[in-house]
Amino acid sequence: MAQSARSASLWAVLTLLFVLGWCQASAIPRVSFPLGSPGRSLTQFASPEVGNTTTLLLSSDEDTLFVGARDAIVSLDVSEPKAVALKNKLDWSPTEKDLNDCAMKGKKKADCPNFIRVLQVLNSTHMYACGTFAFSPRCTYISTETFSLVLGPTGKPEEGRGRCPYDPYQKNTAITVDGELYTGTVADYRGNRPVISRHLSEGSHVDLKLDDTLGWLEDPTFISSSYVPTEEKVYFFFSEVGREYDFIDKLTVSRVAQVCTSDVGGQRTLQRRWTTFAKAQLLCQSQGELPYNVLEDMFTLQPQEGAPDEDTLFYGIFSSQWSVNSGRSAVCVFSLDDIKAVFAGNYKVLNRDTLKWSTRVQEKVANPGSCGLHNASDNTLRFVKENFLTDESVQPSGQRLSMVSPDYRYSNLAVQRVRGAKGKNYTVLFLLTESGYLHKTVLLESGPHIIEEVQVFRQPQPVKSLLLSVSKAALFVGSSEGVTEVPVANCSFYWSCAECVLARDPFCGWDPSQRVCADIASIPTNAAQDVEKGNVHEKCKAASLNPRSGLAPLRPPTGELVPVSLNEVVRLQCPEASRLARRHWERPNSRLSPELYLQQDDGSLRFLATPITLGHYLCLSVENGFQQVLAVYQVKQKSSSSGGGGGGGGGGAGGGVPTSQPGSAGPTRSTQGRQPPSTVPRRTEGKAGRGRHPPPPPPPPPSSSTAALSPRETAGVTPRPERNFTFWLNPVLTAEAEPKPRGGDAGGGGGGGGEVAGGEQQLQSTAACYLQELVVVSVLLVLCVSVLVTFGLYGVRQRCRSRTAPQSCSRRDAERATGNGNNAAGNGAASTPQERESLKGSPRDAKRNGQVQNGQVQNGGKSLCNGVTNGSNGHLPNTPI
């Protein structure tokens, strides 16, 4: 009975882990590089005199990085890789009086300096910059040659109103086209007069702005802007209040707006106003879910060389207004083609009396949004003035979300098309999290795969920017802390063909001739790479024939001798090669019985030292169906007769060392007494590469605490520093034991293994009889506790799932839509039409739906999750099944 109860509880624990694993199998970065990791060295520019370096602009030759900072514009020399040097600094600060005025207006002193928010190349000789200038924005020309502030054609200082926000925390966007400046910002001190306008125009090309009689913008947050030459249009991306949805709560919607660069305004109607302004909603929503409605950043991916402008893609990060989705973000991509089609379609009609929108079909006097209305009649211009909101919304490309991240809030992105092995193109996203990590993600048919995360700043930053230089193969991140240059990849971090392929990094491939993981562009043709599947067996086959490279790490992991005394709780550590790998333990000729062994989440193994449990242990990791040995230990009884904890030197040149260690030609032993902290680097050397893994702090050496009866008691026990460990490599070398360091006086005791063995035998036999009882009792105890914990966790999970259901499965949902479009999990879709309607349909319905939605969505989510648990949906790319 006890048996069945035990197995039942075990089963419960496993099932729980499985379910949790599945439902959390959201994209997590495969490897992580905290700031300062050697595997990902960053180049930083930080200077106490140059703060808030948040506006970035690369010169056309990409050798100089211009940075808009606090009270200054600086130029940095970035021509050399791995070096960012200050070239010039241009001070531009408000006067004492300006600062006093700013303080008088009740602004915080820290917000009164001049924060540069617009920095653009105007023409071959001049740049243009605008700053908040103590809540009284100003602009200036900058001579590129002398790098100094100069006056413009008017000979007067440049007004910054309508070009730059007053408040340094307010978002804005600006772009120059043919020497004219197009901006989206707020044009007043309070921040409630938004404008999209054109400045620096000359001759008949007059400066233009929005007509603000009809509410063309509703409290927008500007995100970005983009110029498409063949269309002669500038597109603005922002989010604003969606007046067409008559919610009680203000509903935020994301938008794309357009203006034509040829626009010169109307002659009577719309004089000095845009005649070509139109806007459309951007939808980032998957079926049966609340939309991701708040745009956070937008990146324009230019078409491939030779492809038409229509292939331009816009990648957006979206978050959600609803708290149920807080902390999540989604990536959606929109094609210029789709945007053009929506702008060419029908427009909504605003009833001037009720201020309500309808989609009434009316006679089309003109095509709103089309260019070339300079000489149009007043009638036509009135029509386009009133028809500026498209009826249709722009759907994401492929009608699906590209990525949903339940765990990370992304704020900035950059996108690159990367040519992988065999000339296949991949889309790689660089996503900056709120907390300062850069996630390099490749978008695949099977879903997104986060190759790595690199920490770029310490504190969350209110204002930051991200700039990608494809030719330099680097990203620049600007924040209050400084400017950081991050290479797009470090292929040499992957030390074996297996690791190189498992990384699934389109930038990297295994070069079989050089036997290195290298930049794919530098390898002729036969690089081993498998971004889609990471199939090591297939890709490293050729390489594995070569003894010096290939599947296994360069050398098989060396065994580490762990001297223990009986009844001790032994804990063996296992390093983490990848967060997507599953680690497990094995003994050469036996399975690990769960009654004796506890395999923990951190990869470590715990057990009580008994005669049965002495011997060899292997920690193996399995990723993508590929298995490799990460660590080998030999647990051996201590020689000391006194049994005093630290005293018993681990000398251990014992005779009966089993030689069953797989992989190595034949174990040799060498003793190397080391103090625990230093065991780590040694292992690094021995194992070519494991030490390159910076992310998890290197595992402490196996710790064993004396006579601890309950595993729990030892949890916090750290090994005593004087403790020695013996490291064995090959029995052949037994004789040449390395000299012992003088580390601890208690340490000594190198040799004399032979006699020790006899003593061990005796101890073992006496201990054995009651030990078994003890083990059984403590295992039972652990199991009881785990059953309780299981139910507890299950409860928590239920609650958590009902809170997060719509999203936790959303990625899958998206993937399902991609994968095969089968709507397997069914009822989640039931809520879809209403959901859609909530954004489309009549305001009243929408509101009702908005409230009812939660319940429906939850159901949908739940069934999806269950569907997944049943294994009906095998799209998760990185989850070993």
Ligand X SMILES: *[C@@H]1O[C@H](CO)[C@@H](O)[C@H](O)[C@H]1NC(C)=O
Binding test (CB under 6 A) with ligand X, winner from 48, 106, 153, 716? 153
Binding test (CB under 6 A) with ligand X, winner from 7, 24, 47, 125? 125
**What is the pattern of x (binds ligand X, CB under 6 A) and - over residues 251-290?**
-------------x--------------------------
Instruction: Kindly indicate which of the ranges 124-132, 249-257, 551-559, 596-604 contains the residues binding ligand X, using the contact rule CB under 6 A.
Output: 124-132
Q: Which is nearer to ligand X, 203 or 739 (CB)?
A: 203
Q: Which is nearer to ligand X, 348 or 692 (CB)?
A: 692
Q: Which is nearer to ligand X, 152 or 588 (CB)?
A: 152
Task: Give the C-alpha separation, 72 to 762, whole Å.
Answer: 78
In the complex, the smallest distance separating the C-beta of residue 459 from ligand X, rounded to whole angstroms, is: 8
Task: Give the C-alpha separation, 92 to 70, whole Å.
Answer: 9
- Is the alpha carbon torsion for 375, 376, 378, 382 positive or negative? negative
Q: Which is nearer to ligand X, 95 or 123 (CB)?
A: 123
What are the structure tokens assigned to 227, written together?
Answer: 């110029």
Q: Specify the DSSP class assigned to residue 389.
A: B
Task: Give the C-alpha separation, 695 to 524, whole Å.
Answer: 31
Instruction: Kindly indicate which of the ranges 35-43, 440-448, 613-621, 783-791 contains the residues binding ligand X, using the contact rule CB under 6 A.
Output: 35-43
Instruction: Kindly indicate which of the ranges 484-492, 644-652, 737-745, 776-784 contains the residues binding ligand X, using the contact rule CB under 6 A.
Output: 484-492
Binding test (CB under 6 A) with ligand X, winner from 160, 168, 406, 828? 168
Binding test (CB under 6 A) with ligand X, winner from 460, 462, 644, 658? 462
Which ranges of 696-842 does DSSP label H, i.e. alpha helix? 753-808, 810-819, 832-840
**Site membership for ligand X, residue 463 (CB under 6 A):** yes
Instruction: Kindly indicate which of the ranges 301-309, 379-387, 418-426, 487-495 contains the residues binding ligand X, using the contact rule CB under 6 A.
Output: 487-495
**What is the pattern of x (binds ligand X, CB under 6 A) and - over residues 367-386?**
-------xx-----------
Task: Give the C-alpha separation, 345 to 340, whole Å.
Answer: 9
What are the structure tokens assigned to 469, written together?
Answer: 């230089």
Which of 758, 740, 742, 759 is closest to 750 using CA atoms?
A: 740
Q: Which is nearer to ligand X, 73 or 256 (CB)?
A: 73
**Site membership for ligand X, residue 123 (CB under 6 A):** yes
**Site membership for ligand X, residue 122 (CB under 6 A):** yes
Contact 536, 502 (CB under 8 A): yes
**What is the pattern of x (binds ligand X, CB under 6 A) and - over residues 669-698?**
-----------------------x------
Contact 239, 294 (CB under 8 A): yes
In the complex, the smallest distance separating the C-beta of residue 772 from ligand X, rounded to whole angstroms, is: 46
Q: Which is nearer to ligand X, 144 or 858 (CB)?
A: 144
Task: Give the C-alpha separation, 867 to 825, whole Å.
Answer: 6
**Site membership for ligand X, residue 644 (CB under 6 A):** no
Which of 313, 305, 304 is closest to 335 using CA atoms?
A: 313
Contacts 24+ apart (CB under 8 A), 157-163: 158/130, 160/130, 160/131, 160/133, 160/136, 161/137, 161/187, 161/188, 162/187, 162/195, 162/197, 162/199, 162/209, 163/118, 163/130, 163/137, 163/139, 163/197, 163/199
Sheet containing 329-335: order of strands: 294-301, 313-319, 329-335, 403-405
Helix axes 753-808, 2-23, angle to 10 degrees: 60
Q: Which is nearer to ligand X, 464 or 816 (CB)?
A: 464
Q: Which is nearer to ligand X, 268 or 591 (CB)?
A: 268
**Site membership for ligand X, residue 662 (CB under 6 A):** no
CB atoms closer than 10 angstroms to residue 354: 8
Phi, psi (degrees; rounded to nearest 5) at 20: -60, -45
Q: Which is nearer to ligand X, 527 or 868 (CB)?
A: 527
Phi, psi (degrees; rounded to nearest 5) at 343: -70, -25
The number of angstroms, rounded, from the C-alpha of 493 to the middle of its chain's C-alpha atoms is: 19
**Site membership for ligand X, residue 359 (CB under 6 A):** no
In the complex, the smallest distance separating the C-beta of residue 144 from ligand X, rounded to whole angstroms, is: 9
Binding test (CB under 6 A) with ligand X, winner from 321, 377, 480, 600? 480
Q: Which residues pair with 315 in a beta bridge?
A: 299, 333
In the complex, the smallest distance separating the C-beta of residue 39 from ligand X, rounded to whole angstroms, is: 4
> Under rule CB under 6 A, which residues in 488-527 are in contact with ligand X?
490, 492-493
Q: What is the largest CA-CA distance in the chain?
A: 108
Q: Per DSSP, which regions of 567-614 are E strands?
A: 569-572, 582-586, 597-599, 605-608
Binding test (CB under 6 A) with ligand X, winner from 7, 41, 761, 842? 41
Instruction: Kindly indicate which of the ranges 121-129, 527-535, 668-676, 831-839 contains the residues binding ligand X, using the contact rule CB under 6 A.
Output: 121-129
In the complex, the smallest distance separating the C-beta of residue 365 from ligand X, rounded to whole angstroms, is: 19
Q: Specify the DSSP class assigned to residue 754.
A: H
Which of 771, 773, 735, 775 is closest to 751 using CA atoms?
A: 735
Binding test (CB under 6 A) with ligand X, winner from 9, 26, 32, 52? 52
> Tell me, what amino acid is at 825?
A
Q: Which is nearer to ligand X, 42 or 825 (CB)?
A: 42
**Site membership for ligand X, residue 336 (CB under 6 A):** no
In the complex, the smallest distance separating the C-beta of residue 237 from ligand X, rounded to whole angstroms, is: 21
**What is the pattern of x (binds ligand X, CB under 6 A) and - over residues 586-625?**
----------------------------------------
Q: What number of chain residues touch ligand X (CB under 6 A)?
A: 29
CB atoms closer than 10 angstroms to residue 103: 15
Contact 290, 316 (CB under 8 A): no
Q: Which is nearer to ligand X, 125 or 546 (CB)?
A: 125
Q: Which is nearer to ligand X, 492 or 854 (CB)?
A: 492
Q: Which is nearer to ligand X, 275 or 818 (CB)?
A: 275
Residue numbers at the binding site for ligand X (CB under 6 A): 38-41, 51-52, 54, 115, 122-126, 141, 152-153, 168-169, 264, 374-375, 462-463, 480, 487, 490, 492-493, 692
